Amino acid sequence: MAVPATLWRPGMRVTDARLNAKDYQANTLIVSFTNLASYTLNVTFPEPFPVPPIMSVEIAAGAGSTGRFEARAITVSATGWTLFVLLTDAAEGPDTWVGVPVHWTARMPT
């Protein structure tokens, strides 16, 4: 069970599922595209959340053209989200990525 973590209440039984529960999920995507100024990728959570989570997305490389791009999560739902990578300096024109890691984290709202 990946989500949600259970807040402890008096009288609850200790089970493996409760001990191993987490209120977050994280992973790394390896992104490749050719000659684009923006790119999207639909991502499904390994375990659905009960509500849409709070997302954090980070490009894990700074070499070459990646420094001119930003990444963010859009259309976040309880079951997945869309990675949106966009060029921040349109004067430079489209670019190509090969195997660029993008980290993401999703957590339950508090």
15-65: pLDDT as tens digits: 776 666 678 899 999 999 999 999 999 999 998 998 999 999 999 988 777
Among 27, 31, 41, residue whose Cα is nearest residue 95 = 31
Look up residue 42 and give its two tokens.
């639909």
Rounded to two decimals, what is the model's pTM? 0.81
Domain annotation for the chain: domains and CATH numbers: 23-107 (2.60.40.2080)
- What confidence category does residue 1 fall into, taking pLDDT thresholds of 50, 70 and 90? very low
Predicted confidence at residue 13, as pLDDT, reads 76
pLDDT higher than 70, residue 5: no
Integer Cα distance of 35 and 51 in angstroms: 36
**Length of the chain as a residue count:** 110
